[in-house]
Amino acid sequence: MKARVHVTLKAGVLDPQGAAVRHSLGALGFEGVERVRQGKVIELELAETDAAKAEASVKDMCEKLLSNTVIENYTVEIL
Amino acid sequence: MKARVHVTLKAGVLDPQGAAVRHSLGALGFEGVERVRQGKVIELELAETDAAKAEASVKDMCEKLLSNTVIENYTVEIL
């Protein structure tokens, strides 16, 4: 079973990577880029075959390792 | 208009970040994690209001800045 996790910075948390990308896009001549936020995507392949159990397990992974819940949000998709 | 870009390593390209995450999950007691790949997600807010033009522009950004097309794949979603 495959799972995909998105980890993104919470609203209001400064995103220097996103700001750097936005600046570089401007320097390359791309106009009208108003905001850029950069996050992580983590794709997992799990031996678990039950979707509900897999989702619970991946959420636990997010809380314990994959995200910093002080400054980041995460979403879990089971594919 | 919002766009979301996923940038992931091509199949066969070594992913040390993913391997480190997999190892750490094992150390934390998560069993049955067979494979982990880590990539980037970039969310853009564009002034452009035409979806087709926005998509073309974001693909151009991917080719020129957001991804390294030698080792990475990208997908563009217009939201």
A vs B: CB pairs below 8 A: 92
What is the structure's pLDDT at A26?
Answer: 96
Q: Enumerate the domain spans of chain A.
A: 2-78
Q: State which residue of chain A sits closest to B39, comparing Cα positions.
A: A41
Asked whether B70 and B9 are in contact (CB, 8 A), the reply is: no
Nearest to A41 among B35, B41, B60 (CB): B41
What is the structure's pLDDT at A24?
Answer: 97
- Confidence band (pLDDT; 50, 70, 90) for B23? very high
What is the residue whose two structure tokens read 């979806």? B51
Judge: A21–B65 Cβ closer than 8 Å, yes or no. yes
Strands (DSSP E) found in A11-68: 33-46
Asked whether A36 and A22 are in contact (CB, 8 A), the reply is: yes
Judge: B40–A44 Cβ closer than 8 Å, yes or no. no
Asked whether B38 and A40 are in contact (CB, 8 A), the reply is: yes
Cβ-Cβ contacts under 8 Å for B71 (sequence gap 6 or more): B9, B10, B13
What is the structure's pLDDT at B35?
Answer: 95
Judge: A28–B57 Cβ closer than 8 Å, yes or no. no
Q: How far apart are CA B61 and CA A14, in angstroms?
A: 22
Summarised one tens digit per residue, pLDDT across range A11-51 is 999 999 999 999 999 999 999 999 999 999 999 999 999 99
The yes or no reply on domain A2-78 and CATH 3.30.1280.10 is: yes
Asked whether A21 and B66 are in contact (CB, 8 A), the reply is: yes
How many CB atoms lie under 10 A from the CB of residue A1? 19
For A44-73, letters b (16+ CB in 10 Å) and e give: bebebeeeeebbebbbebbeeebbeeeebe
> Which residues of chain B does A28 touch, with a Cβ-Cβ cutoff of 8 Å?
61, 64-65
CB contact A65 to B (< 8 Å) = yes
What is the structure's pLDDT at A70?
Answer: 97
Summarised one tens digit per residue, pLDDT across range B47-75 is 999 999 999 999 999 999 999 999 999 99
CB contact B19 to A (< 8 Å) = no
